[in-house]
Amino acid sequence: MIRSNLPALQVVIPLLGAVLCALLRRGNAAWLLALVVSWTMPFVSGAMLANVLVSGPISYALGGWAPPWGIEYRVDVLSGFVLFLVSAVGAVLMPYARASVGAEVDAAKQPWFYTMYLLCLTGLLGIVITGDAFNAFVFLEVSSLATYVLIALGKDRRALLAAYQYLIMGTIGATLYVVGIGMLYSVTGTLNMVDLAQRLPAIEQTRPVYAALAFITVGISLKLALFPLHVWLPNAYAYAPSMATVFLAATATKVAVYLLLRFFFTVFGLHFVFESVPVGEIFIALSVAAMFGASLVAIFQEDIKRMLAYSSVAQIGYITLGIGLANQAGLTGSIVHLFNHAIMKAALFMAIGAVFHRIGSVKIDDMAGIGRKMPATMGGFVIAGLAIIGTPGTVGFITKWHLAVGALDKGMGWLVFLLVLSSLLAVVYIGRVVEVAWFREPGKAAANAGEPPMLMMTPMLILFVLAVYFGIDTSLTAGIASRAAEILLTGPQ
Amino acid sequence: MEVLSGIVAHYNQWITVFLMVSGLYIVVARGNMVKKLVGLGLFQTSVYLLYISPGKILGGTAPILDPAYTTYSNPLPHVLILTAIVVGVATLALGLALVVRINEAYGTIEEDEIFDRDGAA
Amino acid sequence: MVLLTLMAIVTIAVVRVRNLFAVVILSGIYSFLMASVLIVLDAVDVAMTEASVGAGIATVLMLGTLYLTKTTESVPTHTPLLPLFVAAVVGGLLLYGTIGLPPFGSADTPVHANVAPRYLDKSIEETGVPNVVTSVLASYRGFDTLGETTVIFTAGIGVLLLIGGRRRKSKAEAEAEAEASGEEA
Amino acid sequence: MKSDLLLRIVTKLLVPFALVFALYVQFHGDYGPGGGFQAGVICAAGIILYAIIFGLPAAQRVVPTWVVHRMIPLGVLLYAGVGVVAMLRGGVYLNYSVLEHDPVQGQHLGILLVELGVLITVSGTMTSVFYAFTGRGR
């Protein structure tokens, strides 16, 4: 019985967890509940992914109403992969959360903080698993509202402003998405993604479909912080509590990318999106702008969380670059980078969160000599930093390799050159931190620092190891990503 | 007559577009945080018409089944928009709560003044 | 049609007026007009909700906020060129899209041909509920409604997290408050 | 406003009526317009009206804050719980047909229960949010 209901459980368990969390009074009890829920999730998504890899997509008709009348949950290789990614990040993060949240959020607010975290998880998983365009909007809003609150709970008063600005931009994005869905509904009469995909080719060349494509693309691009729609992201990541930053940086934008992939390749179809409209060219241009523009800004940041946030915008550029290439190697690069970037960015933000836990600052000047006091944390920072740069032997290299192959397949050799050049910018901003942390005498701030508690340390160490492991053995990540890309390119099975 | 009926046939859509654009303009152009949220509300509300209008059948009636009628307007958009209204008011409540907190933290709800104060701090 | 025109006029007023009380009341009026339009369009459930939410709860909350903050908007200092450009692009795209949509009020459009007829034909047989909006809402698309309830839940807990507690609870907040009152003086 | 006799009397008369009307909207939602969400809003509006006329403390004596705070998650719990029960009875999530022997009866029960869940969460949230906003100024 549990086996056949896995798709529903994937979303319902965190939802029930959030509800129960809201009824608890003590922060530790809420943490324990969130931990149990988070650790259950990878098993659910892992079981589904394994099932999908063997026997094809799972369709689950909620309420017992067959699609397109009811809402369908649909797990294929891509959504199974992203579900596993999101739930795995949550599972790795939870032990870390206890000390971090304990220090950064008022004790009285902790149960509800974990409620918000679980709701955010519910929303993200709901977006990925659903096969219904409108249902995706509802869960997009669940995760978004929870995200605004998580950000606003940062200690700095600028966190409030960041949350407000994100609320405005996020709502505009979601509304544009709804407008696009409304137009598609007006010309097809259906909301189910598979049903849409079957009905659209007949009316492809009409104006509402073009407009719908534009609205949905821009709406989702606001959410995934595609350059130049990224302005909400740096402040949001910089001022949110450390745990929220790690979770959002590793999952939220990835889920938006997933939704975009879903619409481009499953609903509208490769043929329509990339041949009748210059979407590919636009995406490549904006991605290159993100890779360079955001990296340049990152170099001049004093606040390391902000620096990493700008680095995220640049990294999202790599992901969208692969989408713009829209060929087997390029898409594989994009999809595998969803996973790889989640690992390395989570690791970096966790390391900085640990430093903040010890010295109460994320300013680069206060980091002087911190490497000697927290060698494991900052050693890991170096490893994850190398991954961001794309050094061979780390996960970052795998992504860039696939992207480069994709660019060459497309006859865009100059893109390979740009990829290498943008990596040099990453060397500069990561190198700055490494230089200050390791090659300067410990300053006043760092003098009394030490390694963080075990519960914080272990998740970081796991991620540091994974950042290298998946850089060497790629059969799991790149293998699945390659299959997902193949299915996207050849159409629904 | 042809032109007139053309305008009539699309009048809903013209107004919808106008409302939406005005809402979006307020959100982007104004610095006052409450006014921005009002604009956001207009922006979201105008979407209701975009969904509901195509569902209407002239001569039809509300989708509550009754032997006296045979033609009903489409119920599905109504359901979707009920959800959208709820999402809208939820967003508004959260936005207003943020505005109250921002006012407590900064003493103003004008974006420009807040940027000034953060620059000074 | 008269209602729609009135709505457009109210919207212009919302853009122009700078007194926030007036803006809030105008947006309440706007919601009532919207509710009336929705009744004309046969969406009675939606109209009822819009009237109670848009004109009721939303207005109360906004007035509550204004009571806690301030009531006039300052004169915008930026040139409105960028916003105008953004609005114009979106508007143009919308017009481009909507002109291709099927004409208003006809019965033989895709919207009426797919999916929806099943609800109208089978609602009583399958769920025993004559109000099709209710049966679609709670059963056929019941999961959407669960999501919607979750949205409300999220917003409720979120608001309480932000402004629920007494203010003196945390040190940071107390400092912020002291600063704010210092600025007012 | 507390001293205005007329307002106080009218409110006293109106609030029970609003609550009864909310129940009507709730349970008549199968046949006429309305349902859990609308009923929840009307219910909250009744309490809010009471609070505006008689003051927040008076309203909080009638409907304490902790009650409305608890209502927010409980409604979702009821809704999601109905789905879980359906799953335990061998159906898929939220399939109300398995709740009773007769599928239509089951649908009826399921719709009734989830609408009740919506009512609880919506009225709880609206009232809590109102309390939070008005309580903030003190």
What are the boundaries of each domain within chain D?
5-136
Q: Return d(Cα C84, Cα A440) in angstroms, integer.
A: 51
**pLDDT tens digit string along C11-33?**
888 777 888 888 888 888 888 88
With H, G, I as helix, E, B as strand and everything else as coil, classify residue A105.
coil
Query: What pLDDT score was predicted for residue A180?
Result: 92
Q: Which of A381, A391, A318, A376 is nearest to A349 (CA)?
A: A381
pLDDT, mean of residues B57-65: 77
pLDDT for A306 equals: 92
Q: Name the minimum distance, in Å, from the CA of C121 to any CA of chain A.
A: 12
The pLDDT score that the predictor gives to residue D9 is: 84
**Residue B39 burial (10 A CB sphere; 0-12, 13-18, 19+):** buried
For D32, nearest residue in chain C (alpha carbons): C131
**Domain spans of chain C?**
1-73, 142-185
Q: Tell me how close the Cα of D137 comes to any Cα of chain B, in angstroms.
A: 10
Which residue of B38, B58, B72 is in closest CB contact with C120?
B72
Q: What is the pLDDT of residue A314?
A: 92
pLDDT of res. A221:
92
- The answer, for A37 touching chain D at a CB cutoff of 8 Å, is no
Mutate: best of A156, A186, A229, A231, partner C, most C CBs <10 A: A186
The pLDDT, as a whole number, for residue C181 is: 47
pLDDT at A492: 54
Angle between helix A304-325 and A413-439 (nearest 10)? 160
Cβ burial of C3 (10 Å; 0-12, 13-18, 19+) is middle
For testing contact with chain C, the best of A5, A11, A23, A69 (most C CBs within 10 A): A69
Question: Low-confidence residues of chain A, pLDDT below 70?
Answer: 1, 491-493
Q: What is the pLDDT of residue B3?
A: 53
pLDDT score at D138: 52
- How open is the CA angle A386-A390-A393, to the nearest 5 degrees? 75
- Who contacts A427 (Cβ-Cβ below 8 Å, separation ≥6)? A389
**What are the beta bridge partners of residue B32?**
B110
Q: Does C59 touch chain D (CB under 8 A)?
A: no
pLDDT at C182 exceeding the cut of 50: no
pLDDT of residue B121: 47
Q: CB A116 to CB C157 under 8 A? A: yes
What confidence tens digit (pLDDT) does each residue in C43-93 have? 888 888 888 888 888 888 888 888 888 777 776 666 677 778 888 888 888
DSSP code for C102: P
pLDDT of residue D22: 84
Q: Which residue of D has its CA nearest to A15?
A: D80
Residues with Cβ within 8 Å of A311's Cβ and at least 6 positions away in sequence, in order, are: A294, A295, A298, A345, A388, A426, A429
Chain C positions touching D108 (Cβ under 8 A) are 127-129
CATH T-level topology, domain B2-120: Helix Hairpins (1.10.287)
Locate the domains of chain A by residue range.
1-275, 278-493
Of B23, B91, B80, B29, nearest in space to C7 by CA: B23
Q: What is the pLDDT of residue C174?
A: 46
Contacts of A224 (CB under 8 A, 6+ apart): A253, A256, A257, A260, A316, A320
Of chain C, the end-to-end C-alpha distance in Å amounts to: 51
Pairing state of beta strands A58-61 and A72-75?
A: antiparallel
CA distances from A410 to A271, A416, A489, D32, D100 (A): 16, 11, 15, 60, 59
Contacts of residue A475, Cβ cutoff 8 Å, sequence gap at least 6: none
Chain B residue closest in CA terms to A69? B76
Fold (CATH) for C1-73: Four Helix Bundle (Hemerythrin (Met), subunit A) (1.20.120)
Q: Decide if A240 contacts A248 (C-beta within 8 A).
A: yes
Exposed / middle / buried, residue D67 (Cβ in 10 Å: 0-12, 13-18, 19+): middle
pTM: 0.92
Q: pLDDT tens across A110-138, in order?
A: 889 999 999 999 999 999 999 999 999 99
- pLDDT, residue A318, reads 92
Contacts of B83 in chain D (CB under 8 A): none
pLDDT digits (tens, 9 = 90+) for C122-175: 777 777 788 888 888 888 888 899 999 999 999 999 999 988 765 544 444 444
Determine if residue A449 is left, alpha or beta; phi over 0 gives left, psi from -120 to 50 gives alpha, anything else beta: beta
